[in-house]
C-alpha cells in the first residue's frame, strides 16, 4: 500500500502517469511540456518545488509522496547513503549511452558501491573572468590567449594580483575574496575531502596546499574582501573594484545581471591551475516508481544531446552530452564579453575536468574550512590557528 501511494500509475485513458520533481531553472519548461507529445502513452506531471532538498528528504524519510523522477543538484553525494531508495539506472540500460556523456560527470552520479542513482544533466566548467580594460590599465595582457599564458598557475595569478593592486593604487583588485581562491582550486582537484571508502583526507597535504594558497591571497591583501552573493559583490563587479575572478559557466548570466554597466569590457579565458567544475545537476528514478523503464526513457530524451543544447539556449545549462559541447547552437559571439565566443573555452574545459570523488559529508567538513578562512581574511586570524580550528571542528562534525 505504501508503494502504491507513492508512485504514479495510470489514468482513466490508460496513459502511464509519471511524476517529476524539479526546481526553478533546472529544466526547460518547454521541454517538459513536450514530453507528453514525444511519448503519447505517458502523462508527465511535473512539479516545480521550492525549498527543494528539505521537501525531498522529508518525503523520502516518510516513504510517501516521492516522485518517479527526481532532480538532484550537485550535492548528489549526500544522497549516496540513501541509495537503496533509488533505481540503479544501469539496470535500465544506462551503460548503453554512457559513452555519449562526459566521463567525470557520469561518475559523479555513481555511488561507491557502483550503483548509478543520477543521470547527467548540466555541468559547470570553470574559467577566468576578467576586465580587459582594467588589465590593460594595470600593464597586464588583455588578450585571452596572452592572459592564459601568463596565469598558468595560481602562484602566477597571485603574483600578478600584487602588481595589479600596486598599479591601481589599491582601488581595484584581481580577486574578490580568498574563499573563491580556495573553492576554485578545490574544483580543479583530483582529490578532495574523502576517499571512495569515505576515509577523511581533508587534513592531508593536498587540502593544506589549497589552504596555503588562499590564506596567502588574504595575507598579501590582494583580495577586495567582498563576499560572494551579496549586493556589495554586485556593486564591486559593476564599478571596477573587482577586476577578475574564477567562476563556472553559469556565472556569465550572474555577472551580466550584477554588472550591466560593464558590458563589452569582460573577457573569459582558461583559469590558472587547470580545468575545474562547479555545479551541475542529475536526474534519478526512485524505487517507488511503478514504471521505471518508461521513466528512464523520459530522462534519456530530456537529457539527449539535442535537448541539452535547447536547455543551454533557454537557461544557460551547460551540457554534459559530449556532442552537444561542439554544437553550433552553443557557439555565438557575446556582446557582453566583447564579442568573444566564450563557449570555445568552456567546452574545452568541460572535456578536461579530472575524475574525482565527492563524499556525502563534504558539507560538514568543508564549511569549517571556509568559515575559518573568512576569519583569516576579515579578522586577521592566524592562519595556522585557523587551520587547526577548522580541522578540529571538521573531526567533531564527523563524529556526530
What domains lie within the chain, and their CATH numbers? 2-123+280-325 (3.40.190.10), 126-278+336-399 (3.40.190.10)
> Residue 1: pLDDT band by 50, 70, 90 thresholds?
very low
- Percentage of residues in the chain with pLDDT exceeding 90? 96
Which of 61, 40, 57, 37 shows the shortest CA–CA distance to 49?
57
pTM of this structure:
0.95
Q: Taken in order 350, 353, 358, 362, is the CA torsion positive or negative?
A: negative
pLDDT top residue among 23 and 8? 23
Q: Do the Cβ atoms of 355 and 190 come closer than 8 Å? A: yes
* Separation between Cα atoms, residue 355 and residue 181, nearest integer Å: 20
pLDDT tens per residue across span 59-104: 999 988 999 999 999 999 999 999 999 999 999 999 999 999 999 9
Task: Classify residue 145 by burial, with Cβ atoms within 10 Å: 0-12, 13-18, 19+.
Answer: exposed
| Average pLDDT, integer, range 387-397 | 98
φ/ψ of 110, rounded to 5, equals -110, 130
> Residue 5: pLDDT band by 50, 70, 90 thresholds?
very low
Q: Pull the grid cell for residue 286.
A: 526512485
Which pLDDT score is estimated for 2? 36
Q: Beta-strand (E) ranges in the chain?
A: 16-22, 42-48, 69-72, 119-120, 126-131, 244-248, 266-269, 282-285
3-state class (DSSP) for residue 125: strand
Amino acid at each position: 500500500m505504501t508503494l502504491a501511494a507513492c508512485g504514479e500509475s495510470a489514468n482513466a485513458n490508460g496513459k502511464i502517469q509519471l511524476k517529476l520533481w524539479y526546481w526553478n531553472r533546472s529544466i526547460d519548461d518547454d521541454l517538459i511540456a513536450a514530453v507528453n507529445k514525444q511519448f503519447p502513452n505517458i502523462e508527465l506531471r511535473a512539479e516545480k518545488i521550492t525549498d527543494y532538498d528539505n521537501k525531498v528528504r522529508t518525503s523520502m524519510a516518510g516513504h510517501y509522496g516521492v516522485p518517479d523522477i527526481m532532480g538532484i543538484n550537485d550535492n548528489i553525494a549526500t544522497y549516496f547513503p540513501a541509495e537503496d531508495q533509488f533505481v540503479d539506472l544501469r539496470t535500465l540500460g544506462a551503460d548503453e549511452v554512457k559513452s555519449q556523456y562526459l566521463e567525470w560527470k557520469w561518475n559523479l552520479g555513481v555511488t561507491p558501491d557502483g550503483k548509478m542513482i543520477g543521470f547527467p544533466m548540466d555541468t559547470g566548467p570553470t574559467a577566468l573572468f576578467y576586465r580587459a580594460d582594467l588589465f590593460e590599465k594595470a600593464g597586464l595582457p588583455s588578450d585571452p590567449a596572452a592572459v592564459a599564458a601568463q596565469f598558468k598557475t595560481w602562484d602566477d595569478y597571485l603574483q600578478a594580483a600584487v602588481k595589479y593592486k600596486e598599479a591601481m593604487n589599491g582601488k581595484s583588485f584581481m580577486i574578490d575574496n580568498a574563499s573563491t581562491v580556495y573553492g576554485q582550486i578545490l574544483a580543479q582537484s583530483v582529490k578532495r575531502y574523502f576517499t571512495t571508502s569515505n576515509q577523511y583526507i581533508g587534513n592531508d597535504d593536498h587540502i593544506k596546499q589549497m589552504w596555503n594558497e588562499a590564506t596567502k591571497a588574504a595575507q598579501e591583501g590582494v583580495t577586495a574582501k567582498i563576499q560572494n552573493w551579496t549586493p556589495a559583490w554586485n556593486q564591486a563587479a559593476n564599478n571596477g573594484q573587482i577586476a577578475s575572478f574564477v567562476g563556472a559557466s553559469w556565472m556569465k548570466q550572474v555577472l551580466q545581471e550584477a554588472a550591466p554597466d560593464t558590458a563589452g569590457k569582460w573577457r573569459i579565458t582558461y583559469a590558472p591551475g587547470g580545468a575545474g567544475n562547479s555545479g551541475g545537476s542529475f536526474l534519478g528514478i526512485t524505487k517507488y516508481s511503478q514504471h521505471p523503464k518508461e521513466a528512464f526513457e523520459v530522462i534519456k530524451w530530456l537529457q539527449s544531446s539535442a535537448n541539452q543544447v535547447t536547455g543551454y539556449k533557454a537557461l544557460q545549462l551547460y551540457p554534459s552530452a559530449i556532442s552537444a559541447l561542439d554544437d553550433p547552437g552553443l557557439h555565438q559571439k557575446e556582446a557582453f564579453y566583447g564579442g568573444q565566443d566564450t563557449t570555445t573555452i568552456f567546452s574545452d574545459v568541460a572535456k578536461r575536468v579530472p575524475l574525482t570523488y565527492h563524499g556525502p559529508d563534504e558539507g560538514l567538513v568543508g564549511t569549517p574550512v571556509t568559515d575559518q578562512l573568512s576569519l583569516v581574511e576579515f579578522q586577521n586570524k592566524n592562519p595556522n590557528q585557523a587551520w587547526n580550528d577548522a580541522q578540529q571542528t571538521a573531526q567533531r562534525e564527523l563524529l556526530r
